[in-house]
Structure 1
Amino acid sequence: MNAFITLGVPIEFKGHDCVPILEIDGVVRVHDLEDDAEYDVPSEELLAHNDEAESAFERMNRVDPFAVSMTTRPWNLAAHLEEVLSGAPLEPGGERRPEYQPDVPMMQRQATKRRELELLGFPIKERTFQSDLYAYRDYGEAGLRNRVRLKDPLRNVSPILREAIESSRKLLANQSTHTFAVFRGTIRDELDRLGGEDEKLPSDPTLRNYLRLIGGPSDPFWTFKRRQSESNRPTRSNRARAVPDVPGSEVQIDTSRFDVEVLDGFSNRRTTAQLALMVDKSSHSIVGACVRLQSMKGIDIALMIVASCMPRRVLPLDKDLSARLASGAWRRIFGETLPEARLPFVRPHGITSDNGADFMSRNVAAAMKLCGINHTEARPRTPTDKPAIERAFLTVERDFAQYLPGYLAEDVTNRGEPTPGEELLTVFELAVFFEVWFAHVYQNTRHSSIRDPRRPSVSHSPNTMLAALRRFYPERPLSVPASYLPRVANVTHRVISRSGIQMNYRVYDSPELDAFRLKLSPITGTKSWPIYYHPTDIGQVWIIPPDAEPITAPLKDRDRFYRPFADEIDAEVRRVAAESRELSRAEQHELAHELGKAARLQVKARNRRDARDNAARKLDPTYAPPAVQADMTQISDSRMKGLPKTPGPIQPDLDDVEPELW
């Protein structure tokens, strides 16, 4: 920029009032205010005709140029802004213009100045002009340099809070990633330590802003990889982690969402299932699995743990599924008929889980005590404490779930088009397919994480690894008496009435309950007895009297579940109910009220008719009253239209029946 040319300052050139608006390589573009024309003039020629150029340069040299490339902003912007604020003239010693005096409204002064700058060839938006005006008012000419404000963003932070934030940042910088609530709690602890108990913590967004301002953009506190590497830095001598060689010495358990959309099997509602797995770390075998529609409860985990200790059942053959798989790779590998597969048996001796409510429930604690299992809790927010189970969930999603209809991937590019409802699996079908997959495919597939330490290039499958370990570490299933199973069940309280125990509109009864009907419970001191039940087994409940064996009370109407065509009848009932119109409680009361109203009108009509007939008989003893039918016209037609059409009894066609028979 030529140091002797002040852009935006009117000058006299060849007898005309001109404004220099642009200077490039010693050539100045000048706007002639009289002829409203623009032309280029060498800067030396312009300086020769302008005696005020030097003084203008000296005046504006006191302000740093804030944007060399921004030629659309006048160099004397500070003088224009000062005129708007205080009414001071642009030139020292000049006259004060009346349109910029303090008695003129500020908005009017701003509008006048913006029009003036536009005539000078420097149009400026209203919001930009106001931003520059406020910056100049608060910070002077320095507020216009590179649009930088000299405002300290931490000026309102108390010294003790700032010290607490800095110390908390140093404490958490070399730890694994935490939630922001942990950082906030650490600041609170540091404030208490520094004597700032009465100091009020700002909101989370404000704290995040303070943390970024204190640490800067390159603060490693906000870089996950750096924090992870710092947290994994050993504070002791490096040594390899102990790898369990005995099957069942460490079984990892966890739950996750099954990323497959299914039908619930009852109302055909689209939903997602939940999956719980138990994985043996020594062989990476899946020793337990549970699929549910709702989130896992403690009773589900407890039953899965008890079932893993019992003898494993043989996976039953599904003839229809075997026929569908009798082609392609399944026929080439397994033959024409799907073979029987015995689920892998690994009796858990130690279980590692997180601190979820389902794993810390009373049911799980009772199941582990019953089976003699040690429970190890993983560290909070540390999935690396359960690597085998986390890898198993990833394998299930990558090698099984993504091939099913209704797959819900995190990435929309892998999800595909939405699956119609009629093409989705039910939750029961999903459980069967998953059981077939992990028994025939997962257990017989080589895993990169199962390798021979002497020959790392050789990998094994869970079945081969488990079979090799069984030669040296044989295991027998646990024999759990049936009387012990109620102790891991859920408990509720009910009265043992004369008809039995009523739960969820079902009645359970047994002759062994005769001694306890309507009696006080020695456990609760009332007539409500502790009733033990399994949510997935509605066929029976138990009571456990003091110092006695559990008493089983079966479902009274359980034969209806085994009657012919029971499933078909239930499905037909649900279909008819879905197609029929059911009345609400309000509609029932409204219809009954109008029916009672019609009944009262009917009685009045009958009384009037009887009175009329009696009067007629007094006048004419031979009078015979006509036959009258019930008058139902008083019932509102709008209410009768809402009644569902129910078929009446079947009437025989009397025309087809011989006269002597009727």
Structure 2
Amino acid sequence: MLTRPRLLSVGDRVRFSGREHTVAALSGSLVRLVDDVQDVAAVLLPHLLASEDFEILHAVPGRPVVSASDLLDGLPEAVIERAEWWQGHLVEMLTGRSLADPDRPVREKYDPAVRSLRQRELAKVAELREGGLSVSLSWVQQLRARFEDKGLSGLVDGRWQLRPQVTGRVDPRVVAALEQVVADQAERSTVSGAVLRHRLERVLEDEHGRGVVPLPSRATFYRLLSVMGSGRHTLESARTRRSLAKRPDRMFGQVIAARPGEVMEIDSTPLDVLVVHDDGTVDSCELTGLVDLATRTLAAAVLRPSTKAVDAALLLARAMTPEPMRPGWPEALRMTRSVLPHASLLDVDARLAQAAAVPVITPETIVCDRGRAFLSDTFRRACHTLEISLQPAHPDTPTDKPHIERTLGSVASMFAQFLPGHKGRSTEHRGTEPEHEAVWSIHQLQALLEEWVVARWQPRPHDGLRDPLMPGRPLSPNEKYAALVAAAGHVPVTLSPTEYIELLPRTRRTLNAYGFKLNHRIYDGPDLGDLRREYSGSGQDGRRWQVHYDPYDISRIWVRHPRTQDWITVFWRHLRTAPVPMGELAWDQARKVLAGRGASGAGEEEIARAAAELLGRMAAGPDSPPQDCPKRAASRRRDRRVAARTRATADPAYPRPPGSTPPGEEDQARESETPEKVADVIPLGLFDPLEDPWRRS
């Protein structure tokens, strides 16, 4: 609404520089002002209008203020028509002209040139009475004052005020006390309105004394609570209420990333799916993800029973390492079939030719919360090794990393809900015994998540990725990455096998004659021959050696040679005694079969079909689901032993340095093809209890 007249004319009374003036003359952009003591001042019009204390106290009649029409939205049509009817009469009374017919000549009784304002007011009262409306002179004068002050909104019936006071006529002391009660409820458990009314009574008594401030009625209290608690979830979810209370009162800040990896966010959250763990038990797991702010790329995501520091450190390595195609994945998911600029990146890393359609992003800055896994020495050392700036968020402020919070929430709604064993985000969303529906192991679920990221998340248009020149079309993370690489010249530098080992957790162990002993397992190898029983020369005592290990691959450890500084791979002594269900030979053969399919022309339709098939497989469960753990304890124990052996010999996804192949493994194929010589069978006679045992045959 316009709060002052749109025109400044000679004769107007204005306030300027703390005094009242009368506009004496207007010449171009120059205004001549005369105050009450007849002092004359010439002021530039822009300076006058820009002054903070400038105000038009009284305007020359003939220029009434008309408020903006959008302020009347939501009012009944009859109320608006009544206000406009009064506006027509008042405009004619003040100016002599008619709003309905501007070309009509000015009537003499309303001509400001020959009639005073009071004469025109009396003439309007007489005219309205002749038309059958009984009004008084004071009522017309009151409407005129409201119209000159507020415009059309001042003529609206008082029972339909445009901006009514939200608290009505409630005592301000009650309003202040209830505001304190609602604010204190943000960190408490949800209670009923009766408890809040009791707390309000206690606050009023403590501040003003018993009976000094009357307590509002029950109905008034609940109406007031509904108004003041609006948007705060005062009587609803405590979790939502705490989250809303953490929002700052000021405008939200915004971090804009201009290139991939400039700002990335990392976080962990429980996944709303029950899985079958390696020991056969059914329980939940945690999802740890790393998202790029510029492209919304889910650079890496891992599932673990509980997030540890090594998981966060290895997540960095996964983001900087090409995602390999898995056996059975559709050809449409290859990087060479996507919009990613794979051709220009093949010279940097030849592994991209066999990689999936997920960008390789090198982080520059990572924003994390203050969880122990992200503030641990292992994660900080990994960031320091990779020259990554680590920025912990403010305590208890999830708004410092909203993108990863929203991304992990999208994974829960777009991925987890399709899986059997989905338990919902809270107990009120949980079904009946979802643990009996759990059929996926955590390793199988990890493989599904990696395929889902490639098939569903990366090619899906994201509403937060819009080009300023094309705001009507959202881009996918892969499309945004391709656009920013061309603009910013981003070239990912992938990790080498040696750098990957640097990120692993480390400990110190003594090198004995039989090798290293770590977690009751003995690791030994031929490369330790000249180092046995030697001191490392590092550490506090100079005796123990620094050992790097992968807690999710117990088949080998790594030790740095003190003279050559090369990494020595030391294998578990009992590694070859365990079966290898998925070895290197089977992996290579599967890749050859997959590469020989020769699919052509991967488009959006083919990718969408691959994503739909993935969701169908997720909901159907594995071909050989595990047995029902609560009912078959014997099968559970057998599965636990098999899972333990499989986990000990599983092939890690990261690249291995030279010399990481166990001794004799390269001859496994030749040995499996050569039939072993069958020993001569010497039959034994049957035992006869009646035969003389001392008789020689």
Q: TM-score, normalised on structure 1?
A: 0.48
Q: TM-score, normalised on structure 2?
A: 0.46
The higher-RCO structure (CA 8 Å, 6+ apart) is 2
Higher radius of gyration, 1 or 2: 1
